[in-house]
Amino acid sequence: MGIGELESVLARARSLCVLTGAGVSAESGIPTFRGADGLWRQFRAEDLATPEAFARNPLLVWEWYAWRREILHGAQPNLAHCALAELEASRAGSASAFTLITQNVDGLHERAGSRKVIRLHGSIWELRCTACGAERQDYSVPLNPFPPRCTCAQQRSLEGVAEKTLMRPGVVWFGERLPEQAWRDAAAAAAAADVMLVVGTSALVHPAASLPLLAKQRGAFLVEVNPEPTPLSGMADLVLTGKAGEVLDRAVSKRPVL
Ligand code: NAD
Ligand code: ZN
């Protein structure tokens, strides 16, 4: 049992669905929310990553994102991101399906070469207007010290609409709905999977955490990779207790699936 079994499960999978969380980026030096290094100043992520926190104190929340972007700027994808990109590439053009779903907002899967990523929680590299919903990409580091106003601000003030027009990070905050299309695609992939691989997520943030349950209900073989037990561990068919980079690098064979 262990890496060898994961290797053969992956090689046999006809429809493989992977769900990743903050833990997959931990070996790149990116703090998780619930790990020992999850605090920023004295704040917990749950008290910053909410629409209420941004409405109350936009500067504070903005500053936290600026700090997270700086960490990301100096970081590189790790062996886990690379193994997952490799897995996708090795299955391209074969009859076997592959879907990568992430709760991460950091863009490291894409930087490692993953081509199709379902981002359930948006991207830290996007900004979205709190009034009109207009989105734009923004890769600047350091981030402008103040959240900018949207281009709709002028028009809105002419019309006497008193709505706030600040740009906010283009991520899904606690209590917000997931992007509809991403959720539909993720649920369909989980329901169709014969193997579901869950890497580096505490499995506490719903609805993302319900995807492995859905896959399991539909008969998928459920694999978890995490150094700590989670609420999923008890129902997983295979639990690999370890770091994502170490486990996946060893388990992902570099042979193409025929
Ligand atoms: P989480 O912080 O709740 O849990 C992280 C999990 O990763 C834990 O179970 C922990 O044991 C595990 N872990 C730690 N180091 C690991 C390693 N080296 N390999 C494998 N697993 C490891 O994160 P979550 O479950 O993703 O949910 C929290 C929310 O936080 C998500 O919505 C996510 O979008 C957001 N988040 C994203 C990032 C990012 O984009 N990198 C970082 C922090 C939080
Ligand atoms: Zn706007």
Instruction: Indicate if the pLDDT at residue 226 is higher than 60.
Output: yes
* Burial of residue 135, with CB atoms counted within 10 A of its CB: 0-12 exposed, 13-18 middle, 19 or more buried: middle
**What's the distance, CA 163 to chain centroid?**
30
Rounded distance, CA 70 to CA 222, Å?
35
Q: What are phi and psi of 212, to 5 degrees?
A: -60, -35
> Is 105 a pocket residue for ligand 1 (Cβ < 6 Å)?
yes
Residue 163 beta carbon below 6 angstroms from any ligand 1 atom: no
Superfamily of structural domain 3-30+77-121+178-253: TPP-binding domain (3.40.50.1220)
pLDDT digits (tens, 9 = 90+) for 119-149: 999 999 999 999 999 999 999 999 999 999 9
Crossing angle of helices 244-251 and 3-12, in 10° steps, is 60
- Asked whether residue 162 carries a pLDDT value surpassing 80, the answer given is no
CB 6 within 8 A of CB 251: yes
Q: How far is the CA of 157 from the centre of ligand 1 (A)?
A: 41
Q: Tell me if residue 121 is catalytic.
A: yes
> If you classify domain 38-74+122-171 with CATH, what class do you get?
alpha beta
Task: Give tens-digit pLDDT for 74-100.
Answer: 999 999 999 999 999 999 988 889 999
- pLDDT-based confidence at 245, cuts 50/70/90? very high
Q: Hey, where are the domains in the chain?
A: 3-30+77-121+178-253, 38-74+122-171
Name the residue with the closest Cα to ligand 1, atom 18: 243
Determine the Cα–Cα distance for residues 48 and 54; give it in Å rounded to an integer. Answer: 7
Q: 14-52 pLDDT, tens per residue? A: 999 999 999 999 999 999 988 777 788 889 998 999 999
Neighbours of ion ligand 2 (CB under 5 A): 129, 131-132, 134, 150, 152
pTM above 0.85, yes or no: yes
